[in-house]
Structure formats: C-alpha cells, structure tokens
Amino acid sequence: GAVVSQHPSWVICKSGTSVKIECRSLDFQATTMFWYRQFPKQSLMLMATSNEGSKATYEQGVEKDKFLINHASLTLSTLTVTSAHPEDSSFYICSALIAGGLDEQFFGPGTRLTVL
C-alpha cells in the first residue's frame, strides 16, 4: 500500500512552453503533498507544500507564478511549470502524507523535465 505515482516520468519541451506534472496517491487519501526538485547529483530541495482545497505554501525563492500548484482532490496534486526555460530542467519529485496518518511521507518516482 501507500503508492504514489507521477506522470509523466519524463518530458522534453521547448523553451517557453508550459508543462504539467501530476502526482497521485493511488491507494490512500493525502491531505498534504510536497513538491521537491533535485538538480543532478544534488539533494532534494522543497519547493512547496500543497494542501487539499487551499493555496500552496511556497518556500522562499520559489516563484509561485512560475510553479503553479493545484491540489484539487485528496488524491491528486499538479505542478505546472509555466513558460519553462532551460534552467528549469530538473528532476521533480512529489511526496504525500496519509490523511489522518502519522509522519511518513511516501514519494513518487519523480519526473525528469528537460527544457530545450
């Protein structure tokens, strides 16, 4: 149990286009999801905390107008990278907390975004 999926697993796009990444909790409800980004050979950095039915909370330095997060249901959060540029190329990973559960975050497999 406690499986999180991400779609797509990889995406290549042209500079200036927008890309949507989905994060789904497959067998549980998640009131809170987190979005991280990971540059090559580096650690994960929290981008934002996504709570179902409310606005996401962004970390300092993360542009909320560029990285749009929508957590419209208890099983789905989406991250849209708007007007993507090459510097946005990264590995994006989401995680989810089980509603009413304890402390463990369950991670998705990640989405590799390459912006040409």
Among 25, 67, 88, 110, binds other proteins (CB under 8 A): 110
CB nearer other proteins, residue 6 or residue 75: 6
Q: CA 42, CA 44: separation in Å to the nearest integer?
A: 7
- Please state the length of the chain: 116
Cβ proximity to other proteins: between 18 and 57 the closer is: 57
- CA–CA separation, 107 vs 96, rounded Å? 7
Position among 42, 63, 72, 83 found at the interface with other proteins (CB under 8 A): 42
Residue 25 in contact with other proteins, rule: CB under 8 A: no
3-state secondary structure of 59: coil
**Is residue 106 classed exposed, middle or buried when 0-12, 13-18 and 19+ CB atoms within 10 A define those classes?**
buried
Tell me which of 46, 68, 74, 76 binds other proteins, using CB under 8 A. 46
Contacting residue, 28, 34, 58, 67, with other proteins by CB under 8 A: 34
Q: Does 43 bind other proteins (CB under 8 A)?
A: yes
Taking phi over 0 as left and psi of -120 to 50 as alpha, with beta for the rest, 4 belongs to beta
Closest CA to 83 of 38, 48, 115: 115
Binding site for other proteins (CB under 8 A): 4, 6, 32, 34, 42-46, 49, 91, 93, 95, 97, 102-105, 107-110, 112
